[in-house]
Amino acid sequence: MDVLTLGIESSCDETACAVVQNGTRILSSVISSQALFHSTFGGVVPELASRMHVETIVPCVREALFCSGKTLADIDAICVTKGPGLVGALLVGISFSKGLAEVSGKPLIGVGHIDAHVAANYLVHPDFKPPYIALIVSGGHTEIVYTPDDTRKTIIGRTRDDAAGEAIDKIARVLGLGYPGGPRMDAAAKLGKPNSYEFPRTFFQGSYDFSFSGLKTAALNILNQSKMGGGEINVADFSASYLNTIAETLAENCIKSCKQMNCDRLCMAGGVSANSVLRDTMRRHADKNGIQLFYPPVELCTDNAAMVAAAGYLSYLKGVRDELSLNAEPSLRRERQE
């Protein structure tokens, strides 16, 4: 019997809805991005994001159902992002989902946004399954997680300060690339040489944790010194070198983690995994070490609802059901061992 999950995502500046069959087949995926709107302000304005979600959520869900060729009656579970994210933005998706669950009598399942990013891999790789190591790199997270099976996970490395996405967005802004910084820095780096500028790489003895604040400060120092001295920064070379440093640091800890856990399956998830420098670097390291590497297509790396429906399907199989008291968990934090 096929299981159809409806996914709803509103944790940041994308309102999204999708219908997924058996956690693997996308029947429809609708994403309404507010990025262009927020770019005028140089970043996401939380209050405006919530208001835009309110305006968009109904047409978004209608379109996802229509494009899937299904009706609400066909859906087995309504899965919604519960956190982490912007509280006002999360509440729009959660309140709407609760209403939908109440009127339709369908089960409600709250999904962790980070688990959803990882689950995006199930949508495109039929041979993807545990055990695997996941590198989660988004605007707010940088983690290496070991998943021996679909019920357990252990965080074996995480950032001690900035997330990789934050470190990228901040420097992209100072370089004048604007918002959203990641994709723009990615495009700039394609025209640059990765060894033009030297940046520090931070590693911790006996740990696979990350730290990107030193790298960010080093980059800011180079940019400030150049500005004061009237020098010119080659944005393409700077972007390529900066991204290369981040990618090499991430890849090195991932490969070491795979070796330590004796795991030859590695996946990437989250917005920064759309980055072409990171994808190429991880591919090179994985191939060299005989590790199978998975990552979603770019449109499933950044926020979408198909990943929420895919993660919701795994919870559905485990029997997870939420009450209508489900609340937003803006700082939903993952423990090292779950």
Q: Which of residues 291-320 bind ligand KG4 (CB under 6 A)?
A: 302-303
Q: Which of 107, 110, 165, 312 binds ligand KG4 (CB under 6 A)?
A: 165
Strand partners, 225: none
> In the stretch 127-166, what mask flags binding to Zn ion with x, by CB under 5 A?
-----------x----------------------------
The count of chain residues that interact with ligand KG4, using the rule CB under 6 A, is 20
Q: Which of residues 262-321 bind Zn ion (CB under 5 A)?
A: 303
Q: Which of 19, 89, 120, 168 binds ligand KG4 (CB under 6 A)?
A: 168
Stretch that binds ligand KG4, among 16-24, 43-51, 227-235, 264-272 (CB under 6 A): 264-272
- Minimal distance in Å, beta carbon 113 to Zn ion? 6
Q: Work out whether 12 is an interface residue with ligand KG4 (CB under 6 A).
A: yes
Contact at 8 Å (CB) between 328 and 91? yes
Contacts of 57-63 with C-beta under 8 Å, sequence gap 24+, read 57/8, 57/10, 57/15, 57/17, 57/92, 57/93, 57/96, 58/96, 59/32, 60/15, 60/16, 60/17, 60/30, 60/32, 61/6, 61/8, 61/17, 61/96, 61/100, 63/17, 63/28, 63/30
Q: Which of 107, 182, 192, 296 binds ligand KG4 (CB under 6 A)?
A: 182
Q: What are phi and psi of 26, to 5 degrees?
A: -80, 120
CA–centroid distance for 20 within its chain: 19
- Measured CA to CA, the distance from residue 258 to residue 133 in angstroms comes to 7
Q: Which of 17, 272, 311, 332 binds ligand KG4 (CB under 6 A)?
A: 272
Q: Work out whether 140 is an interface residue with ligand KG4 (CB under 6 A).
A: yes
- Minimal distance in Å, beta carbon 9 to ligand KG4? 10
Angle between helices 164-174 and 213-228 in degrees, nearest 10: 10
CA angle, 176 then 178 then 183, to 5°: 110
275 makes contact, choosing from Zn ion, ligand KG4, none, with CB < 5 to 8 Å by partner type, with ligand KG4
Residues of this chain that interact with ligand KG4 (CB under 6 A) are: 12, 113, 138-140, 165, 168-169, 180-183, 186, 270-272, 274-275, 302-303
Q: Which residues bind Zn ion (CB under 5 A)?
A: 138, 303
